A and B are shown apart, each in its own frame.
Chain A
């Protein structure tokens, strides 16, 4: 899902609501990623032609960690890259333009390979739709799969994840925030309450996309469209 895509462009990361409580800690995240790596090897029968593409910002770090785990398991390197979906978002016109992140496709490309998209939180599904559009302009994979650290529900599109770290039933008033060492200094998944003014100020153009939980596309049910 879409959190944090705009961290650099917009407001500085707001501190999570005081009530935010951790649902996954560093060891849990490591275990979950190890499990997903094994699932990938099992389902892809060795993960020979896998290309991991992380969706910036935190999806990229998760993709790199998964690639390391895959290397440990299979003894071979796995192609890993990043896929920025900003230009393919369906809510571009609801917010000021966002800064772009890096798209880095591994040297051999994605044609005929098994692409696994990696993101931190799966929410509305709109990010993944945008990612599928972006992939379409880059090449033709043999198949596309999706791995997420947290699936928090509330899908707005017919999209599901193939590999889920943790299913986390949430209400729309809650926020899910993934912290990763590479970006935030520590590993954690925090479940918090959305601040009142944030949800109320979520009109179009106001851009409530802090790095915290639901953002842009995710607040779509609240925003009129």
Chain B
């Protein structure tokens, strides 16, 4: 049995730093004429996407290909899933094809966990976003981006103040980021209307505020979350206009940030809603850089999970850490 990356909580501080340091070296491959490493030659990575995604799927695909792995893309649309095939049968099919890693995005929270622990497959499972639960590689690439701007390569994020603003309730990015950034020593503050905060948020290892203007001046990075209308089955705020007035980031609010602070967005952006075009296009916004960093970070994750006889990260969850050579 191999290791998986299901939750940002699976990563210790050392694990997380190892991923970020490895990603730093992977990033240098992108500057070379031949952007490819032979490391995962002969390994198969399946991108199993039950939910729409642009950047995450492309990012994982690019990462696996740069490491010379074979990539099989599977999206639920146009597959037997639309004929009613279950997750289990899909998994058994992948196992029969000899997948070494399954990168899974699913609309149900917990699907990757089920895939990893059910015994249906032997491959590593990497969570690429499950429902409103977690998105650990996004948190890693966010931490990578913050580290480059705020504390420097090789360091953690000790004492950095990160503000995450918006639809926390539906955001797997927020949950994974709170877990990972806290592990790395950052102080995280969530800002959202009370209706968009999940139940139990007071037990998360972070501060909560309802007032964006009050925290801006003390933020080293502000992460704007997308308002996920597709997941909203009720009225969480009166009007879009009121939301963007109170929780949107515009030029004025950006000016209130400390000079070194960066503006982050995991994408896709709703311009005019949580972020104005002026901010989105400003040099302080790292949204595009985050995409580039995503490839390096995912290369690091795939290398550390698949590159050797056993994974180098996230080993805590399983008892029998060492097995025979992988197929």
Chain A: residues with CB nearer than 8 A to chain B? 9, 84, 87-88, 92-103, 133, 137-139, 204-205
Contacts and interface: CB of A to CB of B under 8 A. Distances in A.
A129 B70 CA distance: 24
Contact of A139 (B28, B33, B307): B33
A95 B308 contact: yes
Contacts of B308: 92-98
B322 A205 contact: yes
Contacts of B33: 138-139
Contacts of B326: 93
Contact of B309 (A96, A99, A100, A133): A96
Nearest to A206: B322
Nearest to B310: A96
B325 A88 contact: no
Given A133-B38, A204-B325, A205-B325, A95 B309 contact: yes
A103 B25 contact: yes
Contacts of B309: 93-96, 204-205
A40 B310 CA distance: 42
Interface string B282-312: 0000000000000000000001100111111
A96 B314 CA distance: 13
Given A87-B38, A133-B38, A204-B309, A97 B32 contact: no
Contacts of A102: 25
A205 B39 contact: no
Nearest to B307: A97
Given A97-B307, A103-B25, A205-B322, A137 B32 contact: yes
Given A87-B38, A137-B34, A138-B34, A99 B21 contact: yes
A92 B40 CA distance: 10
B91 interface: no
Nearest to B304: A97
B18 interface: yes
A133 B307 CA distance: 17
Contacts of A99: 18, 21-22, 312
Interface in B79-109: none
Contact of B32 (A87, A95, A101, A138): A138
B228 to A, nearest CB: 35
Nearest to B323: A205
Residue of A93, A98, A101, A133 contacting most chain B CB atoms (<10 Å): A93
Contact of B311 (A84, A92, A97, A100): A97
Contacts of B307: 87, 92, 97
A138 B18 CA distance: 25
Contacts of B37: 87-88, 137
A85 B80 CA distance: 43
Contacts of A92: 39, 307-308
Given A88-B38, A138-B34, A204-B309, 12 more contacts: A9-B312, A87-B39, A88-B37, A88-B39, A96-B310, A97-B303, A98-B312, A100-B21, A100-B25, A101-B25, A133-B38, A205-B322
B312 A96 contact: yes
21 contacts: A88-B37, A88-B38, A92-B39, A92-B308, A93-B308, A93-B325, A94-B309, A95-B308, A96-B308, A96-B311, A96-B312, A97-B303, A97-B304, A97-B307, A97-B311, A97-B312, A99-B22, A100-B25, A103-B25, A133-B38, A137-B37
Residue of B25, B39, B309, B311 contacting most chain A CB atoms (<10 Å): B309
Interface string B216-252: 0000000000000000000000000000000000000
B36 interface: yes
A131 to B, nearest CB: 13
Contacts of A84: 25
Interface in B145-201: none
A100 B32 contact: no
Contacts of A100: 21-22, 25-26
Residue of A92, A100, A101, A102 contacting most chain B CB atoms (<10 Å): A100
A87 B300 CA distance: 11
Nearest to A98: B308
A84 B322 CA distance: 27
A103 B34 CA distance: 14
A207 B29 CA distance: 27
Contacts of A103: 25, 28
A137 B310 CA distance: 27
A102 B26 CA distance: 10
A134 B318 CA distance: 35
